[in-house]
Amino acid sequence: MSSLQDAKNGAVLETQSSSSTVVVHSGEPSPLRKIISVSSIAAGVQFGWALQLSLLTPYVQLLGIPHKWSSLIWLCGPISGMLVQPTVGYYSDRCTSRFGRRRPFIASGAVLVAVAGLLIGYAADLGKLAGDKLDETVKVRAIWFFALGFWILDVANNTLQGPCRAFLADLAAGDARKTRTANAFFSFFMAVGNILGYAAGSYTNLHKMFPFTMTKACDVYCANLKSC
């Protein structure tokens, strides 16, 4: 009788242990609303990439950046993607913050995007404050502010992307249907961000909504970039 009871207890413990393991590693799939909210981060990231391609080329010409320098500046994209995402992914997987493994990195990336946007948009004005002359063809100080902001932006975008995708995998919790849904929404918001970014870049009168963005150091393209 005693051995039978022990066997029952053992079976109960084994069942509880198995179920707890499933809960720890898989958990219940998160609500669709949360998955959509996290996926929408992709729209902001892609909006930034699209603006880089559509607005920064004329802005580079305004600052007088030589061709060889502009090539070095654009090199930051693949370099940051190669180094930042694996590094952030490694530390994100091992993060023990009370806010979760992914949220601290996503929040940090968002703050860096804001800082980078200010540096890039106001590079001409900051360069003028630092001593650049308006009649100079090559505005060296403005170029330094621009390059710094550009590198920070690419690092920030890569800091956002990796944890965002990993967060979606966490929310799907191993559920195949939820995983497909999360990937579909992520791709959808990437497309939305691209469309909005290129649309904003193609609209040349955007600065008229924010007339204060045009200054002596900042022309139409620069003001449009600030307005975004």
**Residue 8 domain-assigned (yes or no):** no
Region of 61 on the Ramachandran plot (φ > 0 left; ψ -120 to 50 alpha; else beta): alpha
Tell whether pTM > 0.85: no
pLDDT at residue 103, as a whole number? 93
> What residue numbers bound the domain in which 165 lies?
40-227
**Residue 14 domain-assigned (yes or no):** no
**Residue 217 domain-assigned (yes or no):** yes
- Positive or negative, the CA dihedral 189, 176, 166, 173 is positive
**Residue 5 domain-assigned (yes or no):** no
Domain count, the chain: 1
pLDDT at residue 23, as a whole number? 35
**Residue 196 domain-assigned (yes or no):** yes
**Residue 138 domain-assigned (yes or no):** yes
pLDDT at residue 217, as a whole number? 82
Per-residue pLDDT reduced to its tens digit, 142-157:
889 988 998 898 899 8
Q: How far is CA 26 from CA 29, 185, 221, in A?
A: 8, 21, 49
pLDDT at residue 7, as a whole number? 44
Residues of the chain with pLDDT under 50: 1-26
Domain CATH for 116: 1.20.1250.20
C-alpha 82: how far from chain center: 15
pLDDT at residue 224, as a whole number? 78
The two tokens of residue 102 are 């992914």
pLDDT at residue 67, as a whole number? 74
**Residue 1 domain-assigned (yes or no):** no
**Residue 156 domain-assigned (yes or no):** yes
Q: How far apart are CA 116 and CA 136, in angstroms?
A: 24
